[in-house]
Amino acid sequence: MPELSHRPAALLVLEDGWALRGRSYGAQGRTIGEIVFSTGMTGYQETLTDPSYHRQIVVQTAPHIGNTGVNDEDAESDRIWVAGYVVREPARRASSWRSRRELEDDLRDAGIVGLCEVDTRALTRHLREAGAMRGGIFSGDALPAGGTDPGGPSQACIDICLEAVRSEPPMSGRALAAEVTTPSGYVVEPTGPAEGQKPVAVLAAIDLGIKSRTPWQFAERGVRVHVLPQSTTLSELLALRPDGVLFSNGPGDPGSADAEISLLRGVLDARIPFFGICLGNQLLGRALGYGTYKLAYGHRGVNQPVVDRATGKVEITAHNHGFAVDAPLDRSVDTEFGQASVSHIGLNDDVVEGLELRRDGDLVAFSVQYHPEAAAGPHDASYLFDRFAELMRARQRIRQSHQAPGPASPATSSQESHASSN
C-alpha cells in the first residue's frame, strides 16, 4: 500500500480471520457479503449491474479497472447490485469515446463501498484455496479504532470486524430472487429489423435477476417478451398464452426456490417450451429431480471453456454461479416430464453447464449454466437464442394448425413436432 496515497485507509476482513489493509474506493462505510473473484478483463459495467451479484463482494483479478469509464448503454439493470468492489489499481482517468462518467463516481453515488491498492492476486489465491466465504470492507467512520495503526490493523480492530462478518448469513440457504425481481411486469417489443411487425412468437420471461440484454436478444429476433415478477403464478403465466417460458439468471441458493420450482414444473406439465439461464438451469435441474450443490469458489468471468456435447464445439463463455446441478454426465435419466440429459460440460472441472429435456425424441426444454447473453462478450453461445426462438415458432405453428378449419393431418403434426427438435 503506497504510503503517499491520498485515499483513506480501508480494511478487508474474511470470515476465516484473514485481513488485508488497503485504501477506500467508491463510497466509505461498511459492507458485508459473500466475497468472490471475477476473471473478466473487460465488461466490468456488466458485472456491476448484473443482479446475480446481489449480496456479493466482487474481486476483480484484472489489475486495472475503470479505464473505459461508464456509459449509458452497457448497464444490465437500472442500478449497481454488487455489495462491494475490490480492485488493485483504479484507473486515474477514463479513456473511451463511449464514456460518460468515471466508474468511481458511479460507485460513490450508488453507495458501493470498495477497496483498492491491495494485492488482488494474493486475495484470489486465498479464495481459490479456502473457497468463497463471507467478507467485509470497512472504511471511514465504520473502520474501528486500530485500523490505521502503522504496524497494521490491531487484533482488536480485526476482531470487531470479524464479529460483524460472521453475523451475516451465508449464501447457502438464501432465497434472493424476490429481492432483485421487477416489481411489476413489462413488455419488450420486437426491435431492429422486426420493429413494428407482428411478433413471431410470445415469450414469458420470469425475472429472477434478469439482465436487460436477455429480452433484447429475443426482441431483435422478432419475439415479444413479457418480463414477469418472480411471484408470478402459473395461471397468470398461462393467461398470456406464451409460446415459450424463460427463467433468468439470478442470485441465491436454488435449493431455497420452492415456489419457482413449483411454477417450472407447472410449465413443463403444460408442455410449454422452456429455456433456463444460470439460476434457471439449476431450477430446471431440481424440477427434473436432480440435486444442486455449492461450488468451492464458483465460476465467474468471461473466459470459461464449455463443450457442447452434441457438436463437440468448445465455447468460451461468461459465468457467474456459485451453485451447480448434480446430474450424471454419462447417461440420460427418465423423468416424469421426459428424458433428461447433460448437454454442456465445463472443461475446467467437469461441472454441469447445460441440460436438455426430450419427449418422444423431440426437444422440449433446455438450459445453460453460463450467460449466453454476455453483453461484453464472448458471444459464442448466441445460437441458443436462435434455437429457442425456433422452438417457440414451431409450437406456434402447431397451435395455429389446430385452430384452423378442419383437423391437422397426422403428417403435418409430426413434421411440426420434429421441427421443435432442430
The model's pTM is 0.92
CB 127 within 8 A of CB 12: no
Please confirm, yes or no, whether 371 is among the known catalytic residues.
yes
Query: Which region holds residue 75: left if phi is over 0, alpha if psi is between -120 and 50, else beta?
Result: beta
pLDDT score for 104: 97
From 315, 371, 390, 416, active-site residue: 371
- Cell digits for 392? 417457440
For residue 286, CA distances in Å to 212, 272, 293, 392 come to 26, 18, 11, 23
From 278, 299, 319, 390, active-site residue: 278
DSSP state letters, 190-233: --GGGTTSPPSEEEEEE-SS--THHHHHHHTTTEEEEEE-TT--
Rounded to the nearest integer, the mean pLDDT of the chain is: 92
Q: 380 Cβ partners below 8 Å, 6+ apart?
A: 315, 316, 317
Please confirm, yes or no, whether 373 is among the known catalytic residues.
yes
From 34, 104, 315, 373, active-site residue: 373
Please confirm, yes or no, whether 278 is among the known catalytic residues.
yes
b/e sequence 347-356, b meaning 16+ C-beta within 10 Å? eeeebbbbbb
Confidence of residue 109 (pLDDT cuts 50, 70, 90): very high
CB 35 within 8 A of CB 135: yes
Domains of the chain in start order, with CATH, are: 9-166 (3.50.30.20), 177-419 (3.40.50.880)
pLDDT of 158 higher than 60: yes
CB 172 within 8 A of CB 134: no
pLDDT score for 115: 98
Closest CA to 137 of 250, 256, 14, 240: 14
Cα distance between residue 238 and residue 209, in whole Å: 21
For the segment 282-335, what is each residue's pLDDT rounded down to a tens digit? 999 999 999 999 999 999 988 899 999 999 999 999 999 999 999 999 999 999
pLDDT of 1 higher than 70: no
pLDDT score for 411: 37
In this prediction, residues 363-378 reach a mean pLDDT of: 90
First to last CA, the chain: 56
Amino acid code (one letter) for 362: D
Confidence of residue 419 (pLDDT cuts 50, 70, 90): very low
Cα distance between residue 331 and residue 343, in whole Å: 11
pLDDT of 72 higher than 50: yes
Confidence of residue 404 (pLDDT cuts 50, 70, 90): low
pLDDT of 151 higher than 50: yes
- Cell digits for 160? 470487531
CB 206 within 8 A of CB 228: yes
Cα distance between residue 14 and residue 4, in whole Å: 26
For the segment 228-285, what is each residue's pLDDT rounded down to a tens digit? 999 999 999 999 999 999 999 999 999 999 999 999 999 999 999 999 999 999 999 9
Cα distance between residue 19 and residue 279, in whole Å: 32
pLDDT score for 405: 59
